[in-house]
Structure formats: C-alpha cells, structure tokens
Structure 1
Amino acid sequence: MRLQLSLFFGAIASLVSIPSAIAQSSQPVSIQFRGLVGDQSFQCNSTYLLGISATSVAPADFRFYVSDVALIDAQGKAVPVTLTQDNRWQYQNVALIDFENKTGMCSNGTTETNDRIVGTVPKGNYKGIRFALGVPFKLNHEDATIAPSPLNLTSLWWNWRGGYKFARIDFALPMSGMKHDQPHSSNKQQGFNIHLGSTGCNATNNRQKPESCANPNTATITFENFNPQNSVIVADLKSLVANSNLTKNQPDTGLGCMSDPKDGDCTAILTNFGLPQTGKSARQTFFRVAPRP
C-alpha cells in the first residue's frame, strides 16, 4: 500500500511540475507597433498632406489585424509566438492593432487603442520577425456578431462570404465638411477609404461560408533584422498612399479601394501592401522597422 501511495503522489507531483517546466523553457515577448504618417505620429484630430497630389486629409480610421506571428532565430527558423489570450485584443493566433481613439473624424472607432502584440516564445536568441497582415481563412468567414474579441467588431467585417476587413484606413477631406461615414454624392469626392480584405470568395450567397477565395489578400511581412527589445514596427500611412490620388475615384467603384482587383484605385495601394494585382512579387512599403523611441 505504501508503495502504491508513493507512486500515486509521485505521479501527481510530476503533473504539477509540468506547467513550471514549460514556463522555465519559454520567455515573454512584446512586439510594439507605431502608427506614423511619414515622420509624424498618427492622430485622429490632425490633418496631413498625402498622396501624389499632396491632398489635405483628416484620418477617420486606422486599424488592422495581424496573425501567425513568428520570431526568426539565428539559424533562420521561424518560431511561432504563442499569443496571450487576453479576451480583448488577441484571440488564438490573431491580434488587432488599433491606433484610432474615436476622436476627431474617427467616429466609427473605439476609445481604446492597442499598439502591441504580447505572448511567449521558447527561450532563445532571435534576430527577425515574420507575420501576416490579415485574418487566417479558418477564422475569416465567421459571424462577427457572435465572435470573440477582437473579431467581434462589425465595423471591421463585411459579411460571411467576404469576411473581415484586414485593414481599415479611412480618410476624410476636411474641405467637404462631412464625416467619412455620411453619404457622398457621385460628383463630389468626400474622402478615400482603404478596406483590405479577401475578394472573389465563392459562395451561394452572402450568408454562406466560402470554401476558397480567388484573392485571399493576406500579405506576409518578413524583417530579417528585428529585436523586440529595441525595435518597433512602423505602419506608415504616407508610404501606403504615396502613389495614389486621394481626390479621384474610379467611376462605378467603391470610394477609395475596397480590394476589388478591377479597381484602378487599388493598384498602388495593394502593391504597397505587398499584394500587386498583376500577380508579380512586390516590395511592400507600408511596414518598416525602426528603433524604439
């Protein structure tokens, strides 16, 4: 009997020690993002001169989803980051970066902001980072009204067929005197919206989940030189729209770029996201690495 009890309590002790062993073999990681407009900090209540025509615009939204985050070790291996499940900004392998704070023209947003991804990685030395801009297919075509946070924001969701807006970046033209979500006339430009998401998703109707999408539009971003302790990832709106005319809109298309491959207003935008419409490879310009301030 004593031997059986000894074996029993020994087994219990081994089970208790497993979480401790896991904790000792991993290390916390915090990956910070910064929202910039060129060399200026992003603010909802500011105006900026952007695009090829240096148009004065007021930002009305600046949010995007990041997924499948991995750090790159000294041998070049991508090691997945296990995201902290905080019931707010991170769910499974997806995180929401949110720079708007519902001030100024950002009326569709939230007062809370989030500029970082937090989680753990196995202990080691890392020299780079890889992540996807977008939501994985298995999570992309769920119902946002019943999804867990941060996938429960209906302002970042189209429908079951289209899925989520991987990035929502809206601009209003201050001279119009209108908010970005007000109706606009066909003969007067009221703003320029950038909604990145999957297109060409085959389904019987908008309430049915698709099995595939012709244009997934998830960009993989890799930086070979990145240290979470002294580096940040900059998301630069000025670079994103550097080759776009924010005062013009292709007739019979959505205002700005709604990820339609036939929309000429999307050509430069998707290329700068790293998603050229031509199918050829492109160097993204939206993200860059910078020293921590």
Structure 2
Amino acid sequence: MIISRLIAGLLLLILFGCSTEKVDNQLEISMRFNQKIVSCSSELSLGDKVWRIGQVQFFIANVEAQDAKGRWQTILLKSMATQSSTLALVGQNCAEKDKANWQLTFEPDVKLSQFQRLRFQLGVPFELNHLNPLTQTSPLNVSSMFWVWQTGHKFARIEMQSASDNWIFHLGSTGCLSPSVMRAPSEPCRYPNLYSFELALDNHDQLVFDLAKLLDKVELGQQAHCQSEHDNPNCRRLFNNLSHVSGQSVFRMATSE
C-alpha cells in the first residue's frame, strides 16, 4: 500500500511538472467581441445585420520579451506546422475546422512567467515577405495568405458574411516596386503596413485579439472591402484602429476564462 501511494505521488509530481513547463512556454490566444469569446459559429450584430466569421487569420512575428530588469530579448517559437522560429500563423479558416491555431508555442527553455512585458509585430517582415511561397516551409507556404511576389503575403485575412452581404479585409504591404508582379522588390514597400504591439503580461496568460476594436466605426459590406489600398477610406479606418489611434489596442492580455 505504501509503495503504491509513493508511486502515485511520483506520477502526480511528474505530470504536474510537465504541465507547468508546457503552460509556461505556451501563450493561448482568444478572439473576442465585446468581451465575449467568439468563433466560427458566433453571430455578431453589427449595424442592422447579423454577421458570421468566414476567416480570421494573421501572422505574428519577431516576438520579444522584457525581463524584470527591463532588458528585452528575442524569444524563439518552436518550429512546427503553424510556425517557424520567428513567425506564426494564428487563427482559422472556418471552412477548414481542423486547421485552427490559437496559440503560440515557444522553445522549451522559454519561461513566460519570468517576463513582465511582451512585444511583437502583426505581419511578415520584408526579408521574408517576398520569397517564393512554393519553396518556403510552413506557415509561409499557405497559398490563401499570399498575393504575388511583388506585394508578398496577406498579413491578416479577415472575411465575414451576413445573409445578404459579405466583407473582406486583407492586410499587406502596398506600394511595392519591381519589374513585374512576379518579381520581388529589392527595397521595402512604400507602405509596409506592419504594426507593432507592446503589452504588459501582469500574470495574464492569454493574448486577446479584439475583433470589436478592429471593427470600431468600420463600415461592413461589399462596397467597403479593404485590400490595403492607401487611399481607401475604409482601409484608413482599419489602419487607424491597428495603429491605436483610437486609444484602444486590437491586442491585449487577459486571464483565461
């Protein structure tokens, strides 16, 4: 009996230790709308219509963390199907329910509890953005997240539908100069459309993507599509929301529900 209890206790200790390590090098991500977690099955009341999400996917790149002494360091992601060491594809295409990814998994030696702040980019850095997707490893080989060599990847792809309408927002670099659309530019695009975010961890364990903040004062519908055109007023509103001009960030930290 004593030996059995000892074995049981050791097993619990091992399981607890593994669980703690796994949690501490993973950052869960949730999509919320007006404080509520939403998914492909959610119905969102916007204006005079009810909308459903068709696709929400975006790239997170160059994650850095700040320790208690104020020092910043790059923290590497674990290379796997949805992420490389410096970049991850987050979100879901609702038509592919088995391919959702709502977390960042870092290398095993990363301990998020040791850091006080986190910062990252929304988008694909220039040095990776215009490479041939046919020869890239995942997640840079996802065809639905790529335009052409000249403009590169869609940093975010958000598509929604109502009973009688639809709306899309494809974020990416524009003003990219090259001899043809099938050639990569040699210099950064005029409008990179990369957005940086810095958040206090404060013992929170979940990164929130706030869809309501992104869509604040944004018109939805076929006539309001945004393909990152610089002179498109609908795009400018979305760019303002991503730039925190409204005073509220599209990303924030929260505690898991």
**Where on the TM-score scale, by shorter chain, does this alignment land: which range?**
0.7 to 0.9
Task: Give the Cα–Cα distance (whole angstroms) in 2 for the partners of residues 208 and 283 of structure 1.
Answer: 38
Give the Å deviation of 1:285.
2.6
Give the Å deviation of 1:44.
1.3
Structure 2 SS opposite 1:259: coil
Give the Å deviation of 1:77.
2.0
Match of 1:94 among 87, 102, 111: 87
Q: Does 2:178 correspond to 1:209?
A: no
Matching residue of 2:148: 159
Task: Give the Cα–Cα distance (whole angstroms) in 1 for the partners of residues 237 and 56 of structure 2.
Answer: 18
Task: Give the Cα–Cα distance (whole angstroms) in 2 for the partners of residues 161 and 231 of structure 1.
Answer: 38
Q: Which runs of 5+ in 1 are unaligned?
A: 1-26, 177-189, 250-254, 276-280
Q: Against the structure 1 CA distance between its residues 205 and 263, is the aligned structure 2 distance closer, same or farther, given a 3 Å change threshold? A: same
Matching residue of 2:114: 125
Deviations 1:46-66 (A, max 9, x none): 32113xx35321111011100
Deviations 1:70-119 (A, max 9, x none): 11112222211111112x01113101112x2x5xxx33x45221111111
Match of 1:288 among 248, 252, 257: 252
**Residues 55 and 246 in structure 1, CA contact (< 8 A), matched pair in contact too:** no
Matching residue of 1:49: 45
Q: Does 2:29 correspond to 1:33?
A: yes
Larger-gyration structure (1/2):
1
Give the Å deviation of 1:288.
1.4
**Residues 213 and 248 in structure 2, CA contact (< 8 A), matched pair in contact too:** no
Give the Å deviation of 1:149.
0.7
In terms of mean alpha carbon deviation, does 214-223 or 89-98 score higher?
A: 89-98
Q: Does 2:229 correspond to 1:260?
A: yes
After TM superposition, the score normalised by the length of structure 1 is: 0.73
Query: How do 1:189-208 and structure 2 match up within 5 A?
Result: 190-208=165-183
Give the Å deviation of 1:67.
0.5
Match of 1:116 among 93, 97, 103: 103
Matching residue of 1:72: 66
Task: Give the Cα–Cα distance (whole angstroms) in 1 for the partners of residues 216 and 32 of structure 2.
Answer: 14
Structure 1 SS opposite 2:133: coil
After TM superposition, the score normalised by the length of structure 2 is: 0.83
Give the Å deviation of 1:28.
5.8
Matching residue of 1:138: 127
Matched residue pairs, number? 232
Structure having the larger proportion of residues in helix: 2
Matching residue of 1:168: 157
Task: Give the Cα–Cα distance (whole angstroms) in 2 for the partners of residues 166 and 69 of structure 1.
Answer: 15
Task: Give the Cα–Cα distance (whole angstroms) in 2 for the partners of residues 92 and 205 of structure 1.
Answer: 31
Q: Which runs of 5+ in 2 are unaligned?
A: 1-22
Deviations 1:209-268 (A, max 9, x none): 112200111101001x205x642111011111121121462xxxxx51111111011111
CA-atom RMSD in angstroms: 2.2
Structure 2 SS opposite 1:97: strand
Task: Give the Cα–Cα distance (whole angstroms) in 2 for the partners of residues 256 and 284 of structure 1.
Answer: 23
Task: Give the Cα–Cα distance (whole angstroms) in 1 for the partners of residues 126 and 148 of structure 2.
Answer: 14
Structure having the larger proportion of residues in strand: 1
Match of 2:220 among 225, 228, 246: 246
Q: Against the structure 1 CA distance between its residues 261 and 168, is the aligned structure 2 distance closer, same or farther, given a 3 Å change threshold? A: same
- Whichever residue aligns with residue 196 of structure 1, its letter is L
Q: Does 2:237 correspond to 1:273?
A: no
Task: Give the Cα–Cα distance (whole angstroms) in 2 for the partners of residues 110 and 64 of structure 1.
Answer: 16
**Residues 58 and 90 in structure 2, CA contact (< 8 A), matched pair in contact too:** yes
Task: Give the Cα–Cα distance (whole angstroms) in 2 for the partners of residues 37 and 61 of structure 1.
Answer: 15
